[in-house]
Every structure is written in C-alpha cells, then in structure tokens.
Amino acid sequence: MADAQFVTERGAAVAPTHKVLRNTYMLLSMTLLFSAAMAALAMAIDAPYMGFIPLLVAFALIFAISKMRNSVWGILLVFAFTGILGFSLGPVLNYYMATSAGTQTVITASALTGIIFLSLSGYTLISQKDFSYMSGFLMTGLWVVIGSMLLMFVGSFFGFYVSGLHLAISAAIVLLMSGFILYDTSRILHGGETNYIMATVALYLDIYNLFVSLLHILGAFGGDD
C-alpha cells in the first residue's frame, strides 16, 4: 500500500515536469525556426551590421518576458526576442559566407551546435542527473567572460589589442554554454524551472551563444577572421 502511494505521488510530481519539458522543447523548436527565418531574411536583404542595438533591445525584452511569463504575451515576446537576435545574426552570416570557406564554416558551426546541444541535453534527460551544483561555477565563469569582453572593448578603444583574446573568449563561451545546457536542462527536469517560457529563453540563449562562438572559432581557424 505504501509502495503504491509512493508511485502515485512520484507520478504526480513527474507529470508537471514532463509537461514543462514538452512545452519548452516545442516552443524552443518554433523559436529556433523563426530565428533562422529572420536571419535568412536579413541575409537576403543584405541588412547592415547593427552593433549593440539588437542586444540592448534583447535585454529589454528579457525583462518584459519575465514580467509576462504567465500570459500569452510572454510567448509573443519570446518570438520578438528570438526574431531580433536572429535578424541581427544575418549580417554576421553574410560576412562569413563572403569568405572562401564561408559555407563550410556556417554549416559546420550549425552541425556542431546541434550535436553539442542534443548530446548534452539528451545525456541530462537520460541520466536524470542534477547539475544544480554547477550554478556557482557557471555564474563565476559568466562574469569572468563579461569582464574580459569589457576589457577587450576598452582596450580596443584606446588602441590596445591582445592577440588571440577574441579566440580565447569564444572558446570560454563554448565551454560555458555547454555547462549551461546541462544546468538549464537539469533545472527543468528537477523542477528548478517550472515556467516553459523562461526555460525556452534560457536554452535559446545557450544555443545562440554557442553557435556564434563556434562560428567565430571556425572562421579564425579557417584563416578568415
């Protein structure tokens, strides 16, 4: 009787988690396709590089999404958020596509991004491991990367350039985003994140930053950076 009660309680606890996972991956798939379509549009019309403007808009949208995460407006804002980031990626892709190994670079970066995400997310779901212990390490790493980027920006403003720093930061972001994929998937699986809209935003950012960093690294090794 006690065993039956345990199974019932465990099933009741698992059901909402599975629903969040299902909704997250469904929304994530749609937003990735929408983001890719917006990137293709930007490439087709040869949109200019917009600098930090899309990032500033994206940060503002993240706060708006957080406020509206329990309503249909939250879903619409997620599409606006991923659409803007996708569109801003278009000029970057055009830059790489114009190089000698551009097509191969973009395809390889896309393939590696998909393989890394599916492997790490799949491992977390199959193993059922809790990666919440990585929180402190990941946040520390994130702040180190942000600080390095700011240092690089200030240095370039004053004409001071450290060779290889761009590449080192990109490599660090690849490792960091791989860790965040494990962490964010684990949070959904173990009930740490119960809102599929916010879970979608987290995983989308993991994938987006992973792809951009891989693109930069492959472009550099291809002699095009």
pLDDT in tens, 72-111: 999 999 999 999 999 999 999 999 888 878 789 999 999 9
Residue 141 has pLDDT above 60, yes or no: yes
Residue 4 has pLDDT above 50, yes or no: no
Residue 219 has pLDDT above 90, yes or no: no
Give pLDDT, residue 11: 45
Query: Would you place residue 17 in the very low, low, confident or very high pLDDT band (cuts 50, 70, 90)?
Result: confident
Residue 195 has pLDDT above 60, yes or no: yes
DSSP string, 155-219: HHHTT---TTHHHHHHHHHHHHHHHHHHHHHHHHHTTS---HHHHHHHHHHHHHHHHHHHHHHHH
Quote the percentage of the chain above a pLDDT of 70. Answer: 87
Give pLDDT, residue 159: 60
The pTM (predicted TM-score) of the whole model is 0.87
Give pLDDT, residue 147: 86
Highest mean pLDDT, choosing among 44-48, 49-53, 152-156: 44-48
Give the number of domains in the chain.
1
Residue 201 has pLDDT above 70, yes or no: yes
Average pLDDT over residues 209-215: 95
Residue 119 has pLDDT above 60, yes or no: yes
The mean pLDDT value of the chain amounts to: 86
Give pLDDT, residue 15: 62
Tokens of 160: 């001071």
Using CB atoms within 10 A of its CB, is residue 198 exposed (0-12), middle (13-18) or buried (19+)? buried
Give pLDDT, residue 157: 62
28: closest CA among 205, 182, 179? 205
Structural contact between residues 130 and 187, judged by C-beta atoms closer than 8 angstroms: no
191 or 30, higher pLDDT:
30
State the residue range of the domain holding 215: 2-221
Average pLDDT over residues 58-62: 91
